[in-house]
Structure 1
Amino acid sequence: MINRAVPVAILLAALPFSASAQGVTGGDLGIEYNAPLDGSDFGGTTYSGGLEYGFMRTFSMSVNAAAYKPDNISTTATNVTLHGTYQLSSIASVGGFYGYDSIEDEGAHLFGIEGGTEFMGGDVGGYIGRVEDEGTILGFDGSYDLRSGFSVIGNVDLIDIDDARLAQASIGAEYQMAAGPQFYTQIGRISGEFDGDSDAVGFFTIGAKVAFGAARGTTFDNRSVFEVLPGF
């Protein structure tokens, strides 16, 4: 399943030269699979893609879309996120986002602020926003380059809505090919509280992403409730 990203990388290799002349600074396509560590059936696959368009040198607009397909459940959730990004410098960006989650004719609006920068040899980013008028969503992520294309990656995300709280934390490794896609794997834990009851489960993730354009992808990713619930 991950190997599908390889021919996509070859197909997109010719795009940056013609696309960047039109203002497109980057884009990406990805596929990811998540599964719980307790042996249950509640895993799932995420398909994602994004495109970013630059205005002048300091401002850009981007759109990210994703489809979340749980295992053994005949439904698919989706998210579309729009970003407006201001480049503070060559290493730091801030912006705002608007996202829309939908599943089985039900939907939720998300909006908030986000930012990212290089720090001590790595990349760090974060966001905070509202889910409708009912709760808060926030998260942090980071990566640190090692050598020969390998990096350490990690993230923490939290949703707090009414009487429910969900938190996810994971850490892993990423490998960026010299010319082609990047592959990654993570292991993490998701915990939840609802009406005084709590539960937690470990999970693992494996995925691949291919990026193109001068910016090598989009500045920010999807902002979604489903991103905090990987495959569940």
Structure 2
Amino acid sequence: MKLTIYAAIGAGLLSATSASAVEITGGSLKLSYSTFASETDLSRLGIEGSTELAFTQKFSMQLDLGYQNMGESDLDGSAIGVHAIYHLDNATSLGGFYTREKVNGASLDLYGVEAGYETGQWDFEGNLGRTSTDGDDATIFGASARYEFANQLGLTGSYDTVDMGMFDISRATIALDRNVSDNVNLFLEVGSAKFSADGLSASEPFVGIGGKIAFGAERGATFDQRGILRLLPGL
């Protein structure tokens, strides 16, 4: 799977270099903060930016930069990512992603496939991939669905999981957001994070707030960023 993803992204880059024109179609800047409900010192502050470049009507590339800081542990992480995206039509997008994440000097590679679909008031997105570090592999999966009401309010349900064999992380989230202007969206979220290791597991509720500034296309860039540290409500 890894070679297939790299080949798809490489083919996209090759197509990009031969394209006659490049256009920035959208992007976003996102700020988020979350913490566990019972341990507010265990928090996360995240800053993420994305830009999408269109080379043809069908093909585009998305570039990501992200930074995460964990409150109590003071753990820092940064991520740089690229997506090769094929827009099947105005409603459906398919992609392959690669992200290099660094956490306190240690590197982590994430790669996989993703898809997005819009119909009426609904937006759907999903991803499936692998991550590897120091020879250890893990499976990553994420899915989300958002419904936009007539009053500019949106309700999103999402689920993400990282299966590392002996240690698993998963989170389920419900988020309420509102467009406060043409390009500014604010949100608040509640959810539950579950940690499992050696047959033992524990779940903790968390809360979060944040906002996103988008430019160009209505949602900014096509896909969400990918990463492990950004899934943790706090540490």
Settle same-fold status: TM greater than 0.5: yes
The Cα shift of 1:120 comes to: 5.4
- The residue that corresponds to 2:9 in the other structure is none
Letter in 1 for 2:217: A
Provide the alpha-carbon RMSD of the alignment. 1.5
Find the aligned partners of 2:178 and 2:23 in 1 and give their Cα distance: 29
1:165 to 2:161 alignment: no
- The 5-angstrom pairing of residues 1-232 of structure 1 reads 23-119=23-119, 121-132=121-132, 134-214=137-217, 216-232=219-235
CA distance in 2, matches of 1:104, 1:77: 6
Asked if the contact 1:189–1:202 (Cα under 8 Å) also holds between the matched residues in 2, the reply is yes
Moved over 3 A (4+): none
SS of 2:67's partner is strand
State the distance in 2 between where 1:104 and 1:117 align: 36
User: Helix, strand or coil for the counterpart of 1:134?
Assistant: strand
Query: What's the TM-score once normalised by structure 1's chain length?
Result: 0.87
Amino acid at match of 2:233: P
SS across alignment from 1:227: helix
Please state how far the C-alpha of 1:64 moved relative to its aligned partner: 1.2
Q: 1:95 to 1:195 in 2, by over 3 A?
A: same
Any idea what SS the aligned residue of 2:30 has? strand
> Contact 1:46/1:231 (CA < 8 Å) preserved in 2?
no
In structure 1, the residue matched to 2:18 is none
Deviation at 1:215, TM superposition (A): 5.0
Q: Distance in 2 between matches of 1:44 and 1:143?
A: 23
Task: Determine if contact 1:149/1:178 at 8 Å carries over to the other structure.
Answer: no
Higher RCO (C-alpha 8 Å, min separation 6): 1
Identity %: 29
User: Is the CA contact (8 Å cut-off) linking 1:116 and 1:126 kept in structure 2?
Assistant: yes
Please list the CA deviations of residues 30-68 of structure 1 after superposition, one character each: whole Å capped at 9, or x if unmatched: 100001111341112101101010011000001111111
